[in-house]
Amino acid sequence: MRVSHPTTYRTDPTAFDCPSCGTSTTGDPRDHCPQCLHTRHQDPGDPCGAAMAPLAVAVHGPGDWRLIHRCTGCATLTSAPVRPDDHRVLLMALAVRPLAQPPFPLDLLGRI
């Protein structure tokens, strides 16, 4: 079931208002918040408009990190390039999450 969310989009492509923390940025065109890394589901032709939470970081090559987002409304996954002004601690926390929360007990590693 798709839930309709009211959305307000600025006409200026260099402005971004975060749906999660409320941070407003202007300057270079951006697709996610530099503070909390959230974004809004804005696929062309998709009326969802719900907030998208950062889920993980994917590395496509040297220096090519991408944020993976999941829509809180329809569960769609998207990716966006990491920006130089993104919150570095949050990026690293997303990157190491699989190591900090493995799907098995860590004591099993000692038995290998």
CB 38 within 8 A of CB 30: no
**pTM attached to this predicted model:** 0.74
pLDDT exceeds 70 at position 40: yes
Coil/strand/helix, residue 88:
helix
Looking at the DSSP assignment, which residues form a beta bridge with residue 59? 65
pLDDT at 7: 39
Give the Cα separation of 37 and 57 in Å (integer): 11
